[in-house]
Amino acid sequence: MVLLRNSFFGILILSLFSACSNKAHFIPNLSNFEKEKRIPFIFTKTTLKFVGNNQVLLSDNRLIDSHGKKVIQNPETSDLINDEVVFTKNKNFIAYVTENNSVTLFDTVQKQVIFSEKFPTVSTIDRRLPKPLFEKDSILYFTLDGKVAVYSIPNNQISRVISVNETEDYSNIIGYRLSENSLILLTHKKLLLISDNYDDNIIVDIRGAIFQDDNFYLITKNGEIRNYDYKLSLQKQIKFPFAYFIAFGKVKEKIYLIESQGYVIEIDSDLDKYRVIDSELDDENCFFTDQKFICDEKFFRLPLSI
C-alpha cells in the first residue's frame, strides 16, 4: 500500500477535513462575496476514499497525484512488506516507514530487510506524512515523530538526523521542498529552513504550503496566507479571520482555497484582490490537482471561469 492501511488509520490519523475548532466562523466580506454565482460542479460515480501526501485514492481504487495523473501501484510490494505506513520503490529497493516508527530498507533481489532503525513510537500522525525520498546516494526518511533520518546507501547507516518538531500529537512532517541549496520542512507547528549558509524557522500553527520556484505561500490555521521568499523574509500577507482551509492550491496566477464552511476563495497571486463564492460544500473531503478540486462525488475545474 502507498497510504495508511485501514487498521492503522483508525488510530493514527488527523482528519484534514475537520471543521475549525473555534466557536466563531468565517464570514465573507460583503464587498468580496459574489453570492449570486455558483460553482459549476461536475458529478461522478466515484468518491474520495483516502487522501495522503499529494495523492488521493478514489473509490474505484485509482490513485491520483496532485498533477491529476494516475499513479501506478506496484502489487509486488504488498507481498513483500506488510507493516508500512508509507513507502517508495526505487530499482531493487523499497524504503518504508513502519507502523512502530522504524525506517527500513528492503532489497527485492535478496528478498530481505538490509537496514532498519527504530525511532520513538507515537500514537497520532497526520496522513500527509511524505514518502521516503531517494536522493543520489541517500534516502530521506520522514519519521512519525517529526524527524528526517538521512540514510547513506553506500555506508548502510543513518548519517544524520534532523529533528523538526517533537510535540505529543501529530508531530510528523506534513510537507517539504528540496532544492539544490536548501531543504524546507513543515510540521503543524513549525517551518524549518536548512541551507548551505544558515538555518532559520517560523513558529506558527500551519495548515500547509504552496511552493513555487522563487517564493512560497504559507497557509496558517488562523486564516492567513503569507508569501515568503526562500530566505524566509515575509513579502506580503492576507488574513481571513476565523477561516479554516481544508484544501488549497495555485493555478496560473490564482490561489484557490476551500474554507470549512463551504466557501471557495480565489485570490490574485500578489494577494491584492480576492473574491468569495459559496460552493454549498458541506463537510466534504476535497483534494487539489493542477486542473480541478475533487470533492467526494463531484469536482469543479480550475481556474474558475465564472
Q: Exposed/middle/buried for 5, CB within 10 Å: 0-12, 13-18, 19+?
A: middle
Question: Considering only CA atoms, which of 170, 138, 163 is closest in space to residue 152?
Answer: 138
Residue range 270-280, pLDDT digits in tens = 999 999 999 98
pLDDT band at 133 (very low <50, low <70, confident <90, very high): very high
Q: Are the CB atoms for 105 and 116 separated by under 8 Å?
A: yes
Instruction: State whether residue 99 is helix, strand or coil.
Output: coil
Residue 196 in contact with residue 181, Cβ under 8 Å? yes
Domain spans in the chain, listed from the N-terminal domain onward: 6-301
Residue 6 has pLDDT above 90, yes or no: no
Domain 6-301 has CATH 3.40.50.720: no
pLDDT tens-digit map of 160-173: 999 997 677 899 99
For residue 115, pLDDT beyond 70: yes
Higher pLDDT, 100 or 167: 100
Instruction: Give me the sign of the Cα torsion angle 250, 164, 17, 13.
Output: positive
Per-residue model confidence (pLDDT) at position 22: 46
pLDDT tier at 23 (50, 70, 90 boundaries)? low
